[in-house]
Every structure is written in C-alpha cells, then in structure tokens.
A and B are shown apart, each in its own frame.
Chain A
Amino acid sequence: DAKTTQPNSMESNEEEPVHLPCNHSTISGTDYIHWYRQLPSQGPEYVIHGLTSNVNNRMASLAIAEDRKSSTLILHRATLRDAAVYYCILRDNWAGTYKYIFGTGTRLKVLA
C-alpha cells in the first residue's frame, strides 16, 4: 500500500485560509487521494477526494500536483469548528481493495 506523509501539526488563525500538505511519492496511477478529518472524540468524517484534477466541494478544495506525488487540502476560511486531525489517505481503485491505511494525520489548531 502506498504511504502518505503529513506534518504532525499546524496552526491557523480563524477566518484565514489553511493549506494542509500531503506527500505521496509512491502513488500509483489508480490511487485516489482521500481526505478525512476527525473532530475531538468523534469518528472520522469524509472531506474530499480526487484522482488527477483539482476538486471543490462545500467543505474544502483539493489541489493535486501535476505529477500526483503531493496534494494539498485547502480550507478557505478556517473556523474554530475546523480544529481536528486531518488524514490524507490513498485508495487503490484498480485492485478492488477498499481498505484505507490511516497515518497519524495533521492536527490542525485554529486560533481565535
């Protein structure tokens, strides 16, 4: 399974944009990039996913490098409710394996 590397922690001021990086240099052509987040004392929740093109949804944007070896989750205006651990995960679509390998993620602290 391809691995991802994320910074352990990041800080942001409230109302400012946040860019959460993820490196996945061993990504294969069929791996989808998924992001989940885990709020304190809750289970993870889906944020966004993509394959090659940048993606936007109501929660965030996902920017994928042209060589796909890295990606960035963008929260356009961080709020206190966005304080969470953010996980970048690769999912192998081709092999039909529907398993995620969670790393330790990035703990985002949002300052008021």
Chain B
Amino acid sequence: NAGVTQTPKFRILKIGQSMTLQCTQDMNHNYMYWYRQDPGMGLKLIYYSVGAGITDKGEVPNGYNVSRSTTEDFPLRLELAAPSQTSVYFCASSFPGQGANIQYFGAGTRLSVL
C-alpha cells in the first residue's frame, strides 16, 4: 500500500518556467490537498478537492492551478515560476468521517526557483 506518492522529490526551475507537481493516492480517498511549507513555518493550504471535478482555493492559491479528473490524481500546476514559490510542497488525502478526517501526507517535493 503506497499511500500518497509525490513526484518529483526535488526540482530546480528557472524564473518563468512552468511545471506540474504530481500527486497520486491509492486509498480511494475523496479529499485531496496541496500545501506549501516555507522554511521554519507551518503548512499553508494552496488548493483542495472534495472529489473528482471539484476543487477550491485555500489560503495561498495565487500562482497555482489544479485539476482533479480522477479520484486518485491531484496535480498542481505552477505557471511562470517565481522565486517566492521556492518551498516544499506536500500533497495529502483524506476520507472525511465524523471528527476524524485523518490526512495522509506524501513525502513532499522540494522546489527551488532561481
């Protein structure tokens, strides 16, 4: 059981380049999330999805786009990368239940924009 898988693990981008961070989960979870974590800080929610075809903005959505065409996959797209997007990106998934909604996180993608 792989859980939440993120690719790539590391990436260096030049300013203005674009890329897609991949996230796949094999737990049949309805809910999926993208967070970013800057050095020494907590996680900030970028986007989340409550099911295939449904996405919504989190705290810091500017500069990012998402899509959810399947239950398993929730890619995060960076268009026109900027140095401010240098961060560690975490994908998570959950199955909402009464009080629980335990989120399972991937290992993260470390992105540097130079």
Chains A and B are bound partners: yes
Interface residues of A (CB under 8 A from B): 32, 36, 41-46, 49, 51, 87, 91, 93, 98-105
CB B100 to nearest CB in A, in angstroms, measures 7
Please indicate the chain A residues that have their CB under 8 angstroms from the CB of B17 in the complex: none
Tell me, in angstroms, the Cα distance from A103 to B107 when the chains sit together: 20
Report the nearest B residue to A91, measured CB to CB. Answer: B101
For chain B, residues 71 to 114, give those with C-beta under 8 angstroms from any C-beta of chain A.
90, 92, 94, 96, 98-108
**Interface SS, A side:** loop
Which 10 pairs from chain A and chain B are nearest by CB?
A: A43-B105, A102-B42, A102-B43, A46-B102, A32-B99, A104-B42, A43-B90, A98-B96, A44-B105, A103-B42
Nearest residue (CB) in A for B50 is A98
Q: Is the CB of A45 within 8 A of B100?
A: no
B68 on interface, CB distance cutoff 8 Å: no
Once A93-B99, A98-B31, A98-B50 are accepted as A-B contacts, the answer to whether A45 and B105 lie under 8 Å apart by CB is yes
